[in-house]
Amino acid sequence: MPITSVTQDPEALTLTVVADFAVPVRRLWDAYVDPRQIERFWGPPGWPATFTRHDVAVGGRSNYAMHGPEGEKSCGYWEFLAVDECVGFEVLDGFADEEGNPNHAMPTIRMEFAFEPTDGGSRMVTTSHFASLEELEKLVGMGMVEGMRAAMGQIDDVLADLASFAAGNGTEVALLGDTQARITRIIRGTVQQVWRAHHEPELLRRWMLGPDGWTMPVCEVATAVGESYRYEWENQDSGERFGFTGLLLESLAPVRAVTTEAMIGMEGPAVVNELTLTPLEVGTLLSLVCTYPDASTRELILGTGMADGMETSYARLEREVLGAR
């Protein structure tokens, strides 16, 4: 078991958990900031977690839900107060309803995660700060310590599984609930480089083309919240043309952008796309969470081969814009 000590301090109103791991700090850090990895251990056995949002940056937020064996659902959120890569992060940790809104009837705690190297690998010290002794005792009584022990007992398997999260895996799609999909790809470049490649027209025109043989004659980028964007593509041989338009809803440069997306000339509700960029040891994790109007629309759009076209574009981004080999 990774946990080596648990200290409850009723005077300081803190609960401190120390855990040791046989991997470098970088590997442990990546497991916490990568939504694909943290959701494999954050929920205790029998209560797997799904992270629908995980932007590890000051001002960022995580939304997650843990699903019980009898159909139960427990939702929570983090609000990031401080982030120091490979050193630590600080969050407000609270309960949420199924829409992700804070549940103010339950306690909210401030948690500090500190990472440090050791002779045998790395250590993580998690300090939870409570507003009152009553809140501390309430959460401990609800099984907080036992839940942390059970959840963290799963981390070693995730840390050992390098293949599932390797940079060479290409574009991958994971279904989240009934109406969402998370598309992920490791891009061999920095967060700043990947952000620029998504927001500068001259760079977008060089890589966001899908299969060979297409051009991007219209590339109007939204640069401020509330602005609209418009992208159009044209086949060089047939002259066939299509495009998408939408609004920029949120922006936290250079890590998060939320947009709507609708095909030009088509009626119906728009898709909401949440782009998150996360620095990892092997490159930048690009995560795109798409929320569709319903399950059938999700199935229809993913069935068009969208992920294959995105992989072709991302490979072109690495090859022709970022110079990765």
The one-letter code for the residue type at 208 is: M
What integer best gives the mean pLDDT of the chain? 95
What are the pLDDT digits (tens) for 243-260?
999 999 999 999 999 999
Cβ atoms of residues 248 and 272 within 8 Å:
no
- Residues 148, 154: contact at Cβ < 8 Å? no
- Residue type at 187? I
Amino acid 221: pLDDT: 98
Q: Where are the alpha helices (DSSP H) in 169-294?
A: 191-199, 201-207
Please give the helix or strand (H or E) that residue 137 lies within, else none: helix 133-141
Count of helices and strands (H, E) across the chain: 9, 16
Residue 314: how many other CB atoms lie within 10 Å: 22
Which residues are CB-neighbours of 238 under 8 A, at least 6 positions away?
A: none
pLDDT of residue 166: 86
pLDDT at 84: 98
C-alpha span between 219 and 208 (Å, rounded) = 10
Distance in angstroms (rounded) separating the CA atoms of residues 302 and 4: 45
Q: Exposure pattern of 49-83 as b/e (b: 16+ CB <10 Å)?
A: bbbbbbbbbeebbbbbbbbeeeeeeebbbbbbeeb
CA distance 195 to 223: 12
Low-confidence ranges of the chain (pLDDT < 70): 1, 324-325
Closest to 3 measured CA to CA, from 129, 151, 115, 141: 151
Q: Which of 254, 136, 264, 279 is nearest to 192 (CA)?
A: 254
Residue 236: helix, strand or coil by DSSP? coil
Question: What DSSP designation does 213 have?
Answer: T
Q: Which two tokens stand for residue 63?
A: 């939304």
Q: List all residues 6 or more positions away from 17 whose beta carbon is below 8 Å from its beta carbon.
A: 3, 5, 6, 7, 125, 126, 127, 128, 145, 148, 152
Encoding tokens for residue 133? 């002794």
Contact predicate 288/176, CB 8 Å? no
- The pTM score is 0.93
Task: Assess contact for 271 and 291: CB atoms under 8 A.
Answer: yes
Residue 254 preceded by cis peptide, ω within 30: yes
pLDDT tens for residues 314-325? 999 999 999 865
Q: What is the pLDDT of residue 325?
A: 52
The pLDDT, as a whole number, for residue 162 is 87
Q: What is the pLDDT of residue 207?
A: 98
The residues near 207 (Cβ < 8 Å, ≥ 6 apart) are 197, 313, 314, 316, 317, 320, 321
Instruction: Label residue 200 left, alpha or beta by phi (over 0 means left) and psi (-120 to 50 means alpha).
Output: beta
Q: Which residues of 89-107 are buried (b: 16+ CB within 10 A; e: fewer)?
A: bbbbbbebeeebeeeeeeb
Note the pLDDT of residue 324. Answer: 62
Domains annotated on the chain, with CATH: 3-162 (3.30.530.20), 167-321 (3.30.530.20)
